[in-house]
Amino acid sequence: MKKNLVTIILINLFTAGLSFCQVTDPILAISKPAETNAPGAEYPRLDSEKRAYFRVNAPNAQKVQIDCGRTYDLVKGENGFWTVTTDPLVAGFHYYALIIDGFAFADPSSESFFGVGRMYSGIEVPEDGVDYYKPKNVPHGAVRSTYYFSTIANKYRRCFVYTPPDYDKNITARYPVLYLQHGMGEDERGWSVQGKMNFIMDNLIAEGKAKPMIVVMDNGGGNAFNIRPRTAAPAGNPAQPGAAPAGPRPGGGMGMMSGGVNFAEILIKETIPFIDANFRTLSDRENRAMAGLSMGGMQTIQITLANLDKFAYIGGFSGGPRFAQNDDIDKVYNGVFADPAAFNKKVKVFFLSIGSAEGMRTKETCDAFKKAGINCIYFESPGTAHEWLTWRRSLNEFAPLLFK
């Protein structure tokens, strides 16, 4: 082991030396490593105009590409390094893939995120002057990884639970609960990792904008659609504002089933009872909300509307009610909207949101609800597509409306 240690130290010193030599690279002066990079990785880098610089050491590759919605071909230099500079990217979190000789995978220079039915690269592009999803000097809640046995699925299921900052201090207080679901291709990790929901909640609670609440993030299924080996990367997020999303996208489907098991049944019969038994919850319907993004939004609509004895707050982010334009709102979802006054009394918040670059008719849907007398709250995330910044902003708008 001692010999190995010496080797490592020498390598480190040598690497440090190399870094010094590279400081002459003009890109280093105008850009800095993305916050999503692996520790110490110098690339990918971002400049003040949100251009990303990629640099990949693959001397034996025939072709190197980056897919961040749009596919970029990298150019090989004499030193075996392939490089490319992207056009300015939209702020927020974007999935991307590195493609070598046609094989797409997670770039080892970045952190990986479970996003397309498997682990993929992500790059966080800073948003100027915005800090609601950043850690601040406020009391912090915790995200707990918990396990419960599902007799329906016949296996242990992992479930993440955010407890608010005062949960461990006010040891007799009970809290309302928001069930918050991921999209297709993602899993129960999405909201606390890509979504930074813990910082969003910490900050809202600290500012008195949201009530302290428990947030439960369970696995809603739909995360195994990508089992075929792929040779092209998923287009999770268009790299350019307004670009059209292409192909199957994270969060772009129904996926009620997880390994042949119905998530709605698990949530109602197992997850909620587990949470109410193991956390200090307020367990009546007036203190229970559900929201989700994309597939999770569709699940939310389907589950809450069929269980209005259990939920009083509903949020669909980039995924909401599904019916044809000429359907009669009175008739859809088993007639739950037929008596608008009764619905509005029961459902305290009915919230639908979308990214403006998604090109979806969510505003029109919300307007149709309003015309039918349903109190629909609409939020549009400016300039963002079917991606996490849309959903961070949606949560930041939705959570303050809850339990008031």
Interface positions, 326-365, toward its own copies (CB under 8 A): 360
- Residue from 206, 224, 232, 268 touching its own copies (CB under 8 A): that is 224
107 is an interface residue for its own copies by CB under 8 A: yes
The CA-based diameter of the chain, rounded to the nearest angstrom, is 77
Query: Of the ranges 20-28, 174-182, 245-253, 369-377, which one interacts with its own copies (CB under 8 A)?
Result: 245-253
171 is an interface residue for its own copies by CB under 8 A: yes
C-beta contacts of 260-263 below 8 A and 24+ residues apart? 261/150, 261/152, 261/153, 261/221, 262/152, 263/218, 263/219, 263/220, 263/221, 263/299
Strand partners, 46: 32, 52
143 is an interface residue for its own copies by CB under 8 A: yes
Map the footprint of its own copies across residues 15-74, applying CB under 8 A.
15, 18, 38-42, 56-63
Q: How far is the CB of 51 from its own copies (least distance, A)?
A: 21
The alpha helices in 171-254, defined as continuous H runs, are 190-193, 197-206
CA distance 103 to 64: 9
Please, what is the angle between helix 197-206 and helix 388-398, to 10°? Answer: 30
Output 26 or 39, the one with its CB closest to its own copies. Answer: 39
Query: Of the ranges 88-96, 252-260, 281-289, 329-337, which one interacts with its own copies (CB under 8 A)?
Result: 252-260
Query: Of the ranges 112-120, 331-339, 377-385, 388-396, which one interacts with its own copies (CB under 8 A)?
Result: 112-120
Residue 5: burial class (beta carbons within 10 Å; 0-12, 13-18, 19+) = exposed
What's 203's DSSP letter? Answer: H
Q: How far is the CB of 214 from its own copies (least distance, A)?
A: 12
Q: How far is the CB of 29 from its own copies (least distance, A)?
A: 19
If binding means CB under 8 A, how many residues of this protein chain bind its own copies? Answer: 83
What's 271's DSSP letter? Answer: I
Output 24 or 79, the one with its CB closest to its own copies. Answer: 79
